[in-house]
């Protein structure tokens, strides 16, 4: 009897165990079924996280590291390059006037420097496109260093043709400095591109402000090593450009433009094919684009014309190079220091009002500067500060107006035409300014510039009321 009860109990336990195992198996089967369903049909929101994060995060992190390094290297090179350009510009007209024995040669010196920047821009751009940003920028700085060396030699042997040839090569450093700003955007994320560009622009400002104030110490240094005092600043410029080229060659690795080209999916064939005359006709056919182009060209021409002859005007009454350098520094602060405010106004108030305001500011600045005696440092400082601020309004708002008024396929070509016209206008203005000062006076240059800018402002105001552009 006991054995029967024991067997019955064992059988009952066996049945309970079998039932439990069966339930667990069914539960696992249902879980496996749901897992299979989930794995075959994942939720739509989960797909990007699972598939994109592992693939894109490392690339983005690597690009961010290269971008930070690129901006730092370009900023360092821009400080050096800006120092070289500014210290040379402060005395270039003085050397030419001293060698030639006439003030008209001062404007000619600035003309050749600006022409050098215009001539070098396209070859350096093509070199950058083929070999990378490092090759283009370093070549521009090295060419500028060679030009500064030629200027030093010309001041020693007192040869005006040699001086002008050196200034032509010197302008290549200016072209490289302009292209370096765009190098900061090669790998920048879209929402950080403007900040990257602004960082390099501010680096240029540092060198440009400090450079003119080094003119007199550099002149004393030139005398110590047996050079004419006015050649000393160009000797320093040669060293600055050589150091900038070295920084770019050694540290701008990997090359940001080459990396950006590898990541690019396509090019814009229309922009590449558009020629100068075709693009210029497209600009002229659009009233707002034409206003932008005229604003950029006229602002740069007026600024160069008055700025380059101001040191000559002050030098006539024996103002020291230190004071001249201080006035030029104030002018450069007006050009770059308030550019963020100028951009904000162009976005908030509108492009055309800022363009018109810039033309009016430039006209006022020309009157204030032209009416100042050579020894009136404060009045000349105020005039050149306003001149720089008017330039900032015209360049920032005018460039934005031109770009947004053009079709996307022609936008890049239009920007290139704008740069060429801008540099050509500056070269023309610099040469005419020297002749006006030599044949008439600095005051005539100031008042003539004011009349020209006032007339341009009236034409721009009338053009802004024209029918909207067809896009």
Contacts of 13 (CB under 8 A, 6+ apart): none
- Cα–Cα distance measured from residue 462 to residue 35, given in angstroms and rounded to the nearest whole number: 71
The CATH H-level (homologous superfamily) assignment of domain 68-261 is: MFS general substrate transporter like domains (1.20.1250.20)
Q: Which residues contact 348 (CB under 8 A, 6 or more apart)?
A: none
Can you tell me the distance from the alpha carbon of 161 to that of 263, in angstroms, rounded to the nearest whole number? 47
pLDDT at residue 19 in the model: 56
Tokens of 386: 């306003």
**pLDDT the model gives residue 8:** 56
Task: Output the pLDDT for position 193.
Answer: 54
Q: What is the DSSP letter of 231?
A: G
Give me the torsion for CA of 342, 447, 376, 202, rounded to 10°.
Answer: 20
> Residue 35: what pLDDT?
33
Q: Give dist(CA 309, CA 390) in Å, integer.
A: 18
Which residue, 61, 64, 74, 264, is CA-closest to 183? 74
Question: What element of type H or E holds 312?
Answer: helix 287-315
DSSP state letter for 204: H
**Non-local CB neighbours of 141 within 8 Å, separated by 6+ positions:** 77, 81, 172, 173, 176, 241, 242, 244, 245, 248
Report domain extents, the chain.
Answer: 68-261, 270-466
The alpha carbon of 362 is separated from its chain's Cα centroid by a whole number of angstroms, namely: 22
Q: Is 187 helix (H, G, I), strand (E, B) or coil?
A: coil
Instruction: Quote the pLDDT of residue 7.
Output: 52
At which residue do the structure tokens 């961010």 appear?
Answer: 64
- Give yes or no for a contact between 436 and 445, defined as CB atoms under 8 angstroms apart: yes
Place of tokens 């083929």: 130
Tell me whether the CATH fold assigned to 68-261 matches the one assigned to 270-466: yes
Please state whether the peptide bond connecting residue 254 to the residue before it is cis, i.e. omega within 30 degrees of 0.
yes
pTM, two decimal places: 0.66
CA 429 vs CA 18, 108, 111: distances in Å: 102, 10, 8
Q: What is residue 227's DSSP assignment?
A: S
Yes or no: say if 434 and 106 are a contact pair by the CB < 8 Å rule.
Answer: yes
User: What does the H/E/C string look like for 97-115?
Assistant: HHHHCCCHHHHHHHHHHHH
On the 0-12 / 13-18 / 19+ scale of CB atoms within 10 A, 294 is buried
Burial readout 168-203 (b: 16 or more C-beta within 10 A, e: otherwise): bbbbbbbbbbbbbbebbbbbbeeeeeeebbebbbbb
In whole angstroms, what is the distance from residue 374 CA to residue 58 CA? 61
Calculate the alpha carbon distances from 103 to 50, 109, 182, 393 in Å: 71, 10, 36, 30
Question: For residue 370, what pLDDT is reported?
Answer: 94
Q: Measuring CA to CA, which residue among 333, 345, 76, 340 is closest to residue 195?
A: 340
Q: Is 222 in a helix, a strand, or coil?
A: helix
Question: Is the C-alpha dihedral spanning 360, 365, 368, 371 positive or negative?
Answer: negative
| Length, in residues, of the chain | 471
In this structure, whether the domain defined by 270-466 belongs to CATH 3.90.1150.10 is answered with no
CA angle, residues 301, 390, 326, in degrees to nearest 5: 90
Residues 6+ apart with CB under 8 A from 332: 86, 205, 208, 209, 212, 388
Quick one: pLDDT at residue 15?
A: 60
Residue 268, φ and ψ in degrees, nearest 5: -100, 100
In the predicted model, residues of the chain with pLDDT beneath 50 are 1-4, 20-21, 24, 27-56, 194, 271-272, 470-471
Give DSSP secondary structure letters for 252-295: --S-HHHHHHHH-----HHHHH--HHHHHHHHHTSHHHHHHHHH
Structure confidence at residue 92 (pLDDT)? 86
């Amino acid at each position: 009897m006991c054995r029967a009860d024991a067997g019955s109990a064992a059988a009952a336990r066996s049945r309970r165990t079998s039932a439990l195992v069966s339930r667990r198996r069914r539960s696992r089967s249902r879980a496996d079924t749901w897992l299979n369903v989930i794995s075959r049909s994942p939720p739509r929101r989960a797909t990007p996280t699972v598939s994109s994060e592992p693939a894109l995060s490392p690339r983005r992190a690597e690009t961010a590291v290269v971008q930070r390094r690129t901006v730092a290297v370009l900023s360092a090179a821009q400080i050096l390059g800006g120092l070289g350009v500014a210290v040379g510009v402060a005395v270039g007209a003085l050397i030419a006037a001293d060698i030639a024995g006439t003030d008209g040669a001062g404007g000619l010196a600035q003309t050749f420097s600006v022409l050098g920047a215009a001539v070098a821009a396209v070859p350096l751009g093509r070199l950058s496109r083929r070999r990378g940003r490092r090759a283009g920028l370093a070549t521009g700085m090295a060419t500028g260093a060679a030009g500064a060396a030629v200027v030093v030699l010309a001041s020693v042997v007192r040869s005006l043709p040699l001086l002008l040839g050196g200034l032509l090569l010197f302008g290549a450093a200016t072209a490289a400095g302009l292209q370096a700003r765009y190098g900061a955007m090669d790998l920048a994320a879209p929402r950080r591109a403007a900040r990257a560009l602004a960082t390099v622009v501010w680096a240029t400002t540092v060198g440009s402000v400090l450079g003119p104030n080094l003119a007199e110490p550099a002149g004393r240094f030139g005398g110590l090593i047996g050079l004419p005092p006015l050649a000393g600043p160009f000797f320093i410029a040669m060293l600055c450009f050589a150091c900038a080229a070295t920084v770019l060659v050694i540290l701008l690795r990997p090359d940001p433009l080459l990396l950006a080209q590898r990541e690019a999916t396509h090019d814009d064939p229309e922009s590449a094919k558009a020629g100068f005359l075709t693009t210029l006709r497209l600009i002229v056919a659009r009233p707002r684009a034409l206003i932008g182009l005229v604003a950029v060209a006229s602002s740069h021409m007026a600024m160069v014309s008055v700025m380059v002859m101001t040191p000559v005007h002050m030098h006539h009454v024996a103002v020291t190079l230190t004071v001249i350098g201080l006035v030029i520094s104030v002018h450069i602060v007006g050009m770059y220091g308030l550019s963020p405010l100028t951009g904000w106004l162009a976005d908030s108030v509108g492009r055309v009002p800022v363009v018109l305001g810039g033309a009016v500011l430039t006209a006022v600045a020309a009157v204030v500067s032209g009416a100042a005696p050579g020894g009136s440092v404060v009045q000349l400082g105020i005039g050149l500060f306003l001149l720089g601020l008017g330039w900032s309004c015209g360049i920032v708002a005018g460039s934005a107006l031109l770009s947004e008024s053009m079709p996307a396929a022609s936008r890049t070509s239009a920007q290139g035409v704008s740069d060429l016209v801008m540099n050509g206008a500056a070269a023309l203005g610099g040469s005419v300014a020297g002749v006006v000062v030599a044949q008439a006076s600095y005051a005539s240059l100031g008042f003539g510039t004011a009349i020209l800018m006032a007339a341009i402002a009236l034409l721009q105001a009338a053009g802004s009321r024209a029918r909207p552009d067809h896009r």
